[in-house]
A and B are shown apart, each in its own frame.
Chain A
Amino acid sequence: MRRKNFYLAWLALHLFFIVAVCAHQVFWLIASGLTIIPAAANGTYSQAEKITSTIIGQNLPASNPAKIALFGYLHSAGIEGAYGFFAPNVPENFKLAFEFRNADGRVEDDLPNVESRAAVLRLGSLLDKIGLSDSEQYRRILIRMLTSAAWKNHPDAISAHAVFGKLKLPNPLEYERGVRPAYEFIAAYDFEQSADPNAK
């Protein structure tokens, strides 16, 4: 009986954290105005988001032992994130392209290079993280990493120009009228060989 009670207590806590993490995401989406819920209700959901955020330990300092234990458990059980796949809306599609310039002025175009279909999906996820990030510094670091990886295919290049953009998809009616997917410029970054010792 005692063993069963232990299992029951664990299950209650486990399900509680799953619900808290998922509810936190739902409240955040509503409070951020990303859903069909009217903006008038945003304040209430913003409050609810703060409460759930506290429950799942997000407001605790990184060194807090309770946070370390809780986040360790959530990640180990695979329950640290919610399940809003392609929700509430399908995110934009992002693309990164490179121009590598050689000493003789020749320019070679390239894209981030992976071998397998499985890795293509992961690369897409990485580009989404770059595109959806609010931090310009984070975005720059990740693009620099991807540029550095692609640079290996262009050993003679002395500089690289990375262009980050997003794909604007037409809806079905627009598509029927002849509108086709088009990339929109978001940002461009220049890297010099001398300034980037890891690039080659």
Chain B
Amino acid sequence: MNSSRLTILNNLPIPTRSSINHVLQRLREWLFLSSSDRWLSILRIGLSLQLILYTFSLRADWRSLLAGTGHGLASRDLAEALLSLESPIIPRLGWLIVAAKQLGLSEATALNLSWYGLTLASVFLLIGLFSRPMAIASWFLHLGSVKSGGLATYGVDALTTIGLFYLMLSPLPDQLSLDYLWRKKLCNPQLLGFWRRVLQLHLCLIYFFSGLTKALGNDWWNGINLWRALTRPPFDLISADILVRFKHFLPITGVAVWLLEIGYPFLIWHRRLRRPWLIAILLMHAGVGIAMGMNLFAFVMIVLNLAAFGPGILWHRRQAADDGSCSSESLARSPNN
């Protein structure tokens, strides 16, 4: 890779070559900037709580949502057949159910076991016991349940998958986990910084495209979409009689929502604006959770934001660099700077 890059660079004039090298070097430094593991603790604890809330909120409907044809609300068989048209290697609960049937277990038992498995893995992840295997198990079981119940999924599932995907690849364990207590294994601060950057960049893309798509809709300019989102069942927690009193604020709020989202990838890096911008985004998600009852959606977005940008923006921690760990979060060299 280096040799091919050098071949290309060698054909360029020396000033151009050196400036490209300089940019690449700066990019490398920026992506691998040393970071503490505080963000990873937030991601691990936040996502494990998210999964616990997810499993308990669906406890009564778990089998109904994931049962095969004729045994539940939506057909897992149909969802998995549609999934196989895209790719047969996408994880699904059907694999576990086939394995369970070979052991003589019924579909209902296998589904119950998947629920207990996901809940248990989430609890282990929460306390940080066997962090890496539990992160992988949580990712697999959650993804399997989401894909097998694919007909009845919504945005929160993809965002949780994104978080879990990065969590299982990140350098676990973090210092707040039980694993760290007896292993005391030092993690690579540059690698911690890299995975934090990945999460930050992904969030920037999520908000940019979410805001852009909203801005392209006529009714996000005049407040109608906001009105519709808040009065549409099952999100109509606030009475329309109350909402209509604030009708003049709807266009302003509608525009503010997509401006906040489009501005995120640019202003979250700005030294003075990043703190108010992050707080505004967190308040927006809290508002969505309260006003529309989308609690899990709000929670996962808050967790992802806090993990990606919280340390260094919402709180700073001065610590000796030679404390023998990778937790030296320098204000000057924070991944947010």
Contact = CB atoms under 8 A, between A and B. Distances in A.
Contacts of B60: 115-116, 119
A169 B219 CA distance: 13
Nearest to B162: A78
A12 to B, nearest CB: 10
Nearest to A75: B90
Contacts of B159: 78
Contact of A76 (B165, B198, B202): B165
A172 B247 contact: yes
A87 B210 contact: yes
Q: How large is the interface on A (under 10, 10 to 19, 20 to 34, 35 or more residues)?
A: 35 or more
A121 B244 contact: no
A83 B73 contact: no
Given A75-B90, A172-B227, A36 B218 contact: yes
Interface stretch (B33-41, B143-151, B315-323): B143-151
B232 interface: yes
Given A26-B213, A87-B217, A122-B153, A149 B147 contact: no
The residue among A93, A113, A121 with the most chain B CB atoms within 10 A of its own CB is A121
B57 A118 contact: yes
B8 interface: no
Contact of B216 (A26, A114, A176): A26
Interface in A115-173: 115-126, 129, 141-142, 145-146, 148-149, 167, 169, 171-173
Given A19-B205, A87-B216, A142-B151, A9 B161 contact: no
Interface in B134-174: 143, 147, 149, 151-155, 157-162, 164-165
B69 interface: yes
A69 B86 CA distance: 10
Contacts of B220: 87-89
A164 to B, nearest CB: 15
A4 interface: yes
B15 interface: no
A141 B78 contact: yes
Nearest to B195: A7
A119 B61 contact: yes
Contacts of B88: 68
A29 B233 contact: no
B210 A84 contact: yes
Q: Of A25, A82, A119, A129, which is in contact with the most chain B CB atoms at under 10 Å from its CB?
A: A119
Listed residue (A69, A118, A141) with the most chain B CB atoms within 10 angstroms of its CB = A118
A13 interface: no
A176 B227 CA distance: 13
B91 A76 contact: yes
A25 B69 contact: no
A124 B217 CA distance: 22
Interface in A47-90: 62, 67-72, 75-90
A71 B88 CA distance: 9
A88 B240 contact: no
A9 B24 CA distance: 13
A181 interface: yes
Nearest to A130: B151
A77 B165 contact: yes
Interface of B: 1-2, 28, 31-32, 54, 57-61, 64-65, 69-70, 72-75, 78, 83, 85-91, 143, 147, 149, 151-155, 157-162, 164-165, 194, 198, 201-202, 205-207, 209-210, 212-214, 216-221, 223-225, 227-229, 231-234, 240, 243-244, 247, 250, 293-294, 296
Interface of A: 4-5, 7-9, 11, 14-15, 18-19, 22, 25-26, 29-30, 34-37, 62, 67-72, 75-90, 93, 112-126, 129, 141-142, 145-146, 148-149, 167, 169, 171-173, 175-176, 181, 198
Q: Which 7 A-B pairs have the closest CB atoms?
A: A88-B217, A78-B161, A198-B70, A115-B60, A118-B57, A71-B87, A84-B213
